[in-house]
Structure 1
Amino acid sequence: MKIVITNRSNTPIYEQIKNQIIEAILTDELKEDDLLPSIRQLAKDLKISVITTTRAYKDLEEEGYVVNVQGKGCYVLPKNENLNFENVMQKIEGHLFDIFELQSRISMTDEELLDVIRTIMEENRNG
């Protein structure tokens, strides 16, 4: 797994790290019991503060994605389907808000938007 951070983002670096690790877990790039890089090693690789990587790992542990085993490292926990569902729903909602913003820019009616959605859904089913 490769973590890429950018200083130009409005998202704090620790959150960028956390979000990329969560995405890797949800897409099975990282699997149950996989060992994450050590906090120090990740900080060194990304050329950032150990405090930043510590915050990312702490948040991941608090959110139930990893467990920190003292002296051994940070391991991926079994995927929690409730967490997965919430994460995906949050992404869907974010995309919908983006769609509604775009809809308002071109004065598209709700019915026109629903027609577009239905067409895309039908194309997706027939694939």
Structure 2
Amino acid sequence: MKLIFEIKGYASQVRDMDRQKYCNELNRETFLHAMDFHVISFAYDDIEQRPDLCITLLRMMLSKYQPSHPPVSRAQLAEKEVIRLAIEQSRSLRPSYGGSRERIVRYELAREAIDYF
């Protein structure tokens, strides 16, 4: 998705606009739409005086583009956390079996696992 966020001031966008500037602005927006850009415009006054409104509107707009994933199983979550730990540690990991004498194996991070995230 291609997004453009614009903050427009009243003076430069409305008060000082003549017919030609108005036409140019509409043509620019149409061109951007044709190039698959989504333009999100906020008034400078709202950014300055009502930022909570802007945040709410932005969240509403962006929420429809968030992927909806099915619930993650505990096993998938644990696997991701082990991979995340291996990435952070930058070394192989060994499971702990407490005081037992079971054979201990080692887990090494395969580079393909990084793309798993």
TM range, normalised to the smaller chain? under 0.3
Flag the structure with larger Rg.
2
**Structure (1 or 2) with the greater strand fraction:** 2
TM-score (norm 1): 0.26
- TM-score for the superposition, normalised by structure 2: 0.28
